[in-house]
Structure 1
Amino acid sequence: MSPTVVITGASAGIGRATAHRFARAGARLGLIARDRGALDDVKDEVEALGGTAAVAAVDVADAAAVTAAMGEFALALGPIDIWINNAMVTVFSPVEDMTPEEFKRVTEVTYLGCVHGTWAALQHMRPHDRGLVIQVGSALAYRGIPLQSAYCGAKFAIRGFTDALRSELIHQKSRIKLMMIQLPAVNTPQFDWARTHMPRAPRPVPPVLQPEVIAEAIYKASLKPKREYWIARSTLEVIFANMALPGFFDRLLSYKAYTGQMTRWPARSWRRDNLEAPIHALHRTHGSFDREAGREALLIGGEVARVGSGLATMAMAYCAFVLARRVLLPRSRRARRLK
């Protein structure tokens, strides 16, 4: 029987691609985002692909509204099998250029939106003692980078919240499952509509994947839930290398992540952003980096605790070596040419 799936942040990017993927499997979909017009567009796409959809124009920062949407979906679509917390906003900026209100807003949407969605899902799933909650995370849940301090803090918080709740569910002998999926950089519209205080327009740090790759990974992971999944070799490299050489990573990112998150083009003064309100015209699946975005990636499942200590040490050393070679080897070659 096809599942009933709720997706937050369903109007664009990964959320929209994930809705398409579940629709092709015949799923019944509850779609949550702020822009009703964009949600109606996704609903039409879902139904054209063979799925069924209901929509709720809700800001996930509003806990009561998220819970009300859950109730509406349950009535319209039936018992909810899978809840996917995907909604996010971010601000590209050095910490000193951000306002407390901006930190608060990113936290309310990206972190508390996940908490609100999880809480609503649990209220529905507990009486049936079944269901799956998927948190869409990031390699940045393990390693913070400059210019996205609020977003990184939110992703770290989601991981801590999820780990704590998972232990509670185990203690309660609940059959409800929690899963977190850690992502690499993805070509979504966030780089076109995120607020920025940088001199040049933002971009994802390469290597970059298309949203459909992530959607396929989320779909496959939902069929075989594990504690955590990592998507793409770059995610594995970031996580293990930071475990092995965090101080080296601090210095590497101090310059690599500045240039890596900016295009050559100036950030225009009239640029609109979606921090407080949606931008209807930019609701789409892909961002502006189709030319470089990859269409396949590894899906690594399980948990670090299951990896033998010797193998984990070898993996961390290897990843640290790979990253160091990428950064330091070109410099050494340039030095030899200058001699």
Structure 2
Amino acid sequence: MDIRDGVVVVTGASSGIGRETALALAHAGAHPVLLARRRGALDEVAERCRRHGARPVVAPADVTDGEAVQQVADTALQRHGRLDGWVNAASVMEFGTVLDVPPEDVRRVLDVNLMGAVHGCRAALPPMIAEGRGAVVNVSSILGVIALPFGAGYTMTKFGLRGLGVSLRQELRLNEVTGVGVSTVLPAAVDTPIWSAAGNRTARTPHPPPPVADPGDVAQAVLERLRVPRRETVVGALPARALVYAHAFLPEVVERVFATVFDMIGLRGDGPARPGAGNLFAPVHAVDQEASCSRASLSRASMRCRSRKP
């Protein structure tokens, strides 16, 4: 798709990767449709998009509600007359062992991260197929390749998003649909509010383990996949990408190393953990939505966050 003047729905647009993607789209001349639960945060993102000349649409909705997601697609078509792209970036996390995390919390993570993307694809693809053009980008993770200990629910969804992309590409090909692309982006750990807002059933505080990806870099990768769809794209520093590729040849070794490193660095006893479901069922307003600025991260994202003026 042509980004300039394109109409793109972005889920999870109130913070993190979704927010950065919406702003990058506006800067590139597109008109983002902003979907998330918190209208106030979406209004702030929309105002920043307007500074770039974009005509954003604020569309508060919960991605677990398929009818509400469909209404967002309908609103985009009514406002702009077309739907060029859809980015499934909405995501939540919860930390804890499979035995400690309540089943209802696991189900909620699955509903938001995976079923939310299913609802998005079901809303986006019919008008794109009818027009013979369009692009869907699902934001997975390198955790869709290498499983995360103490985060089974999140990991299951990221594996599932990769499978969803493969199935959709096969179905489009077998139905001889051309001009419509489905891509999957797999970032390394990103320093966003998802870490501080996550549910937590451990006695430790989660931090994104280095090397940490810049959310702006992930957003640019998403835009590139909107422009030119590609099966899967890994985003992050060379060590993170190397870890993914090494997993194809030495899966057990990589999994052991990854689990040990995350246990030592990703979950720390350096501060009070916030027990409970976090933002799974309702937004956590106390979280800084610009960026999490975790103490653990020395990434470009966190350095940029520290230097920002209010």
* TM superposition score normalised by structure 2: 0.90
Aligned partner of 2:306 in structure 1 is none
Runs of 4+ off more than 6 Å: none
One-letter amino acid of the structure 2 residue matched with residue 219 of structure 1: L
Quick check: 1:101 aligned with 2:107? no
8 A contact 1:38–1:280 mirrored in 2: no
1:219-268 per-position Cα deviation (integer Å, ceiling 9, x unaligned): 23322222221112234222222111122123223422212212342334
Identity value in percent = 33
Q: State how far apart, in whole Å, the 2-side matches of 1:145 and 1:283 are.
A: 25
The Cα of 1:167 is off from its aligned counterpart by 0.5
Contact 2:200/2:274 (CA < 8 Å) preserved in 1? no
Q: Tell me if structure 1 keeps the 8 A contact 2:8–2:33.
A: yes
Unaligned residue ranges in structure 1 (runs of 5+): 296-339
Give the whole-Å Cα distance in 1 for the aligned partners of 2:279 and 2:13. Answer: 15
1:118-164 Cα offsets, whole Å, 9 max, x none, are 11001221211211000111111111120111001011111111101
Distance 2:97 2:277 in 1: 19
| Aligned counterpart, 2:284 | 279
CA apart distance, 1:269: 4.9
- Give the corresponding residue for 1:156: 159
Bigger drift between 164-173 and 255-264 goes to 255-264
Contact kept, 8 Å, 1:67 with 1:120, in 2: the verdict is yes
Unmatched 5+ residue regions in structure 2?
A: 302-310
Greater gyration radius: 1
CA distance 1:271–1:93, shift in 2 (3 Å): closer
Displacement of 1:87:
0.3
Most deviating of 104-113 and 269-278: 269-278
Across the aligned residues of Structure 1 and Structure 2, the Cα RMSD in angstroms comes to 1.7
| Cα distance in 2 for residues equivalent to 1:204 and 1:221 | 25
Query: Which sits farther off after the overlay, 23-32 or 247-256?
Result: 247-256
Deviation string 1:60-91 (CA, Å, 9 cap, x unpaired) is 01111101111011111231111000001110
CA distance in 1, matches of 2:274, 2:131: 52
C-alpha contact 2:26 2:32 (8 A) present in aligned 1: yes
Q: 1:107 to 1:115 in 2, by over 3 A?
A: same
Q: Which of the pair is proportionally richer in helix? A: 1
Please report how far the alpha carbon of residue 55 of structure 1 lies from its aligned counterpart in structure 2 after TM superposition: 1.3
Indicate the residue corresponding to 2:264 in structure 1: 259
Contact 1:85-1:134 within 8 A present in 2 as well: yes
- 2:164 match: secondary structure: helix
> 1:22 offset after TM fit, Å?
0.8
Name the residue aligned to 2:88: 85
Query: Could you tell me which residue of structure 1 aligns to residue 250 of structure 2?
Result: 245
Determine helix, strand or coil for the equivalent of 2:57: strand
Match of 2:307 in 1: none
State which of 190, 210, 216 in structure 2 corresponds to 1:186.
Answer: 190
Q: Which residue of 1 aligns with 2:31?
A: 28
Change (3 A) 1:271 1:160: closer
1:169 aligns with 2:172: yes
Q: 1 CA distance for matches of 2:91 and 2:173?
A: 28
Which residue does 1:207 correspond to in 2? Answer: 211
- What SS does the corresponding residue of 2:219 show, helix, strand or coil? helix
Equivalent pairs counted in the alignment come to: 295
Greater shift after overlay, 77-86 or 251-260?
Answer: 251-260
User: 1:294 maps to what in 2?
Assistant: 300
Aligned partners of 2:17 and 2:192 also within 8 Å: yes
Give the alignment's TM-score, normalised by structure 1: 0.83
Q: How far apart in 2 are the matches of 1:259 and 1:234?
A: 18
Aligned equivalents of 1:273 and 1:133: distance in 2? 29
| Cα separation, 2, equivalents of 1:18 and 1:63 | 22
Q: Specify which of 124, 142, 145 is matched with residue 145 of structure 2.
A: 142
The one-letter code of the counterpart of 1:224 is V
Query: Alpha-carbon deviations, 1:199-237, whole Å to 9, x = none?
Result: 121111110122112112222332222222111223422
Q: 2:240 and 2:126 mapped to 1: Cα distance? A: 33
Q: Distance in 2 between matches of 1:133 and 1:187?
A: 24
